[in-house]
Amino acid sequence: MITTIALASSNQSKKNAIQECQAELSDSTPSCSVNPTKDLPQNEPVYLRHDGKSYHLWYPSASVLKWNTTSEETALLCSGANNVLEQTNKPLNVKTCSKGQEFLVEGATTAISAKDLKCKASVDGECAPNVEPCANNRGVLNKLGFNAGTGGFITYIDSCFDADRSSVLYTRHILPGAAIANAVVADAYQTWRTDGIDAKIDPDALYTQTTQFERFEALLGSKAQAEKYIEPGRTFLNRGHLTPRGDGIFQTWKHATFFYTNAIPQWNVINEGNWNNIEQRVRIVASLLQEDVLVIQGSFGVLSLPNDANQSIAISLSAAGLDVPLWMWKILKSPSKNAGIAFVTLNNPYETKKPDELLCTNVCERYGWTEQDYNNFTAGFTYCCDPNDLVRMVPHIPYEGLVKEVLTPSMLSSSAKRLSAWYHLILVVGLVHLLRMV
């Protein structure tokens, strides 16, 4: 082949010879790759890897899933009732590389394109309820992910649920920083599921704006007082994701976020305001870190509003629970640096002044996380904390959220010294895609 290239008399013949050489090398060392944004079908399976002991979620280290040799075994999972891979009629399937985007699947007779490897039905995720106590026995741990049968339960989200108040204390997940810039754009919203929720409440009914208005009228003493807070179509309480669907790399991951054990009552203008801003920033930080970051988020306290006698009334969507939180918080931690930052948002768009007591000292300006909109109360007053201070103040936050130091923008990359430089960096490297994944 070297002789062929040396004797080539034109640029075109040289190009052809090089391509032939590359093809021969490719044939001798076959490899496979799958681009999540281009090569997956509707009703995609869950991609898994086996570490010798158990299966785990598999995701790209950059833009593609890559098999370096034909001997690398991975798996495809079609979880859900009676769901199977179309080609094998089995839910869990061992898969090896053939070449390019062609794969050999145990039980199939020929190589199959990644675009054709699909489940008979959409994979929406499952809930493994009441796994163990959490939050010093205040809650029970629900696991959200994918049931692989004999392969075990594949966890994506840990959710600590206070069954007494039918309220979520926190959720925990891993955000793959090296993959998030190439995550798929979310498809249609899913149906929210009640697995892991006590039957004493009906969240589907409680989250309707009509029911919310009736509840506020009962709590606050009059229709006129309720009208100050619930304005149908304008201001109301959303099912606010804790682990956001935008953090999911695949559609299957995004679908698995639609459980009520991953939601809190959150004002819609805050959900779409500063809380959304925080979710986007966390994805940007993870992408700049290029590592698997730990994200823990949750609620604290119960929102109180004045009734028609100007008495402070704790707000819940039901007498049986589903408390409306006063605060939402989110911790982002870089395991490699043992550094993190926490964001805290007030869940009250009707507040007009900074609360007298914060959960922890505001360190936004000190560590370079200042954002002008954080002082917009309608969008949700927001401040930053040393994660260690927040963990000390909120007893149900796992100690896993503790860090050695506070994460700063200067620790992310040499060109991201200040937050004002981030958006220039986003445009340069194409990370603006991250802002569209919610």
| In contact, 43 and 122? CB cutoff 8 Å | yes
Q: How many whole angstroms separate alpha carbon 435 and alpha carbon 142?
A: 29
Tell me if residue 433 is catalytic: no
CA proximity to 159, closest of 176, 171, 146, 145: 171
What's the pLDDT at 374?
A: 97
Q: How many whole angstroms separate alpha carbon 398 and alpha carbon 159?
A: 12
pTM: 0.88
Q: Where in the chain is the domain with CATH 3.40.570.10?
A: 126-415
What's the pLDDT at 72?
A: 82
What's the pLDDT at 146?
A: 99
Alpha-carbon 225 to chain mean position:
36
What single-letter amino acid sits at 256? A
What's the pLDDT at 6?
A: 40
CA proximity to 75, closest of 54, 46, 32, 98: 46
Mean pLDDT over residues 290-316, rounded?
98
CA proximity to 261, closest of 380, 140, 80: 140
N- to C-terminal Cα distance for the chain? 50
What's the pLDDT at 419?
A: 45
Q: How many angstroms separate the Cα of 198 from the Cα of each of 190, 195, 237, 260, 430? A: 21, 8, 21, 11, 44
> Pairing relation of β-strands 339-346 and 405-406?
parallel
pLDDT digits (tens, 9 = 90+) for 170-189: 999 999 999 999 999 988 78
pLDDT above 70: percentage of residues in the chain: 87
Tally of CB atoms within 10 A around 302: 16
In 41-91, which ranges are E strands? Answer: 46-50, 55-57, 65-67, 73-77
Those residues whose C-beta lies under 8 Å from the C-beta of residue 333, and which sit 6 or more positions away, are 293, 294, 295, 296, 339, 340, 387, 400, 401, 403, 407
What's the pLDDT at 5?
A: 35
pLDDT digits (tens, 9 = 90+) for 321-377: 999 999 999 999 999 999 999 999 999 999 999 998 999 999 999 999 999 999 999
207 is written with which tokens?
């989250």
CA proximity to 363, closest of 400, 395, 388, 392: 388
437 falls in which pLDDT band (50, 70, 90)? low
What's the pLDDT at 26?
A: 46
Q: How many residues does the chain have?
A: 438
| Domain range 126-415, CATH architecture | 3-Layer(aba) Sandwich (3.40)
Q: Which residues are annotated as part of the binding site for Mg(2+)?
A: 271
Mean pLDDT over residues 251-274, rounded?
98
pLDDT digits (tens, 9 = 90+) for 190-212: 999 999 998 899 999 999 999 99
Residue 58, helix vs strand vs coil = coil
What's the pLDDT at 62?
A: 85
pLDDT at 269 over 50: yes
Q: Which residues are annotated as part of the binding site?
A: 271
What's the pLDDT at 391?
A: 98
Active-site option among 50, 241, 255, 396 = 241
Q: How many whole angstroms separate alpha carbon 344 and alpha carbon 374?
A: 10
427 falls in which pLDDT band (50, 70, 90)? very low
pLDDT at 288 over 80: yes
- According to DSSP, residue 295 is labeled E
20 falls in which pLDDT band (50, 70, 90)? low
pLDDT digits (tens, 9 = 90+) for 402-411: 999 999 999 9
pLDDT digits (tens, 9 = 90+) for 223-248: 999 999 999 999 999 999 999 999 99
pLDDT at 17 over 70: no
29 falls in which pLDDT band (50, 70, 90)? low
Number of H helices, E strands in the chain: 11, 23
Q: How many whole angstroms separate alpha carbon 162 and alpha carbon 183?
A: 32
433 is written with which tokens?
């895609």
What's the pLDDT at 405?
A: 98
Tally of CB atoms within 10 A around 200: 12
| In contact, 65 and 46? CB cutoff 8 Å | no
Q: How many whole angstroms separate alpha carbon 128 and alpha carbon 270?
A: 30
Nearest 5°: phi and psi at 135? 55, 50
Those residues whose C-beta lies under 8 Å from the C-beta of residue 214, and which sit 6 or more positions away, are none
Q: Which of 9-13, 21-25, 57-61 has the lowest mean pLDDT?
A: 21-25
pLDDT digits (tens, 9 = 90+) for 92-134: 999 999 988 899 998 888 999 999 999 999 999 999 999 999 9
Average pLDDT, the chain: 90
